[in-house]
Structure 1
Amino acid sequence: MKAVVFYESADDVAAKAPEHFAAHVAAYQPYVERGELLMIGTFADPQEDGSMAVFTTREAAEAFVARDPFVLHGVVRSYRILDWREALAG
């Protein structure tokens, strides 16, 4: 079971994100190094569609969003974490 974090962007995310981007990367890098964060990024239109991250556990996802500068400084309006049952095609 994986955990997917969906972020809803705050108004004018393109203007707000750069100020906190380095801190955001610094916050997620330890999760990458421990193998707990598998993917993170924006959708094609971050303002309209937001972004997402895939974690190996819900606990890791919850721990990350609790200290993510994008959450703490209002770069994202809201987030939700969903448990995800990964299925491979083929």
Structure 2
Amino acid sequence: MKAVLFYRSGPDVLTKAPIHFAAHKARLDDFQRRGELLAVGTWADPRDGSMAVFRSRAGAEAFVEADPFIENGVVAGYEIKDWNEVLLG
């Protein structure tokens, strides 16, 4: 079972995100390199938040524990949902 992380953007996301993006991106890269992070991206309007797919709930929980976007108010809140992935072809 995979885990999907939903971020709700903070009110100052457009000004705060660029300031903390390098540290956030380094964390994304680390989790991707380890095979924990499978996909990530913002919605068309970044003020609407973003979504990431992790290999496991434990990976998603570990990511949010020290994400600079959470620590610095870029993200106002988040939710992790377990996801039963089904590939139809």
Same fold (TM over 0.5): yes
Displaced runs of 4 or more, over 4 A: none
Q: CA RMSD in A?
A: 0.7
Size of the aligned set, in residue pairs, is 89
Identity percentage of aligned residues: 61
1:45 maps onto 2:45 in alignment: yes
Q: Distance in 2 between matches of 1:17 and 1:55?
A: 21
Matches within 5 A, 1:17-32: 17-32=17-32
SS where residue 63 of structure 2 aligns? helix
Matches within 5 A, 1:1-90: 1-47=1-47, 49-90=48-89
Q: Which runs of 5+ in 2 are unaligned?
A: none
The TM-score with structure 1 as length reference comes to 0.95
The TM-score with structure 2 as length reference comes to 0.96
Please report how far the alpha carbon of residue 12 of structure 1 lies from its aligned counterpart in structure 2 after TM superposition. 2.4
SS where residue 21 of structure 2 aligns? helix
Q: Which runs of 5+ in 1 are unaligned?
A: none
Query: Which is worse superposed, 26-35 or 2-11?
Result: 26-35
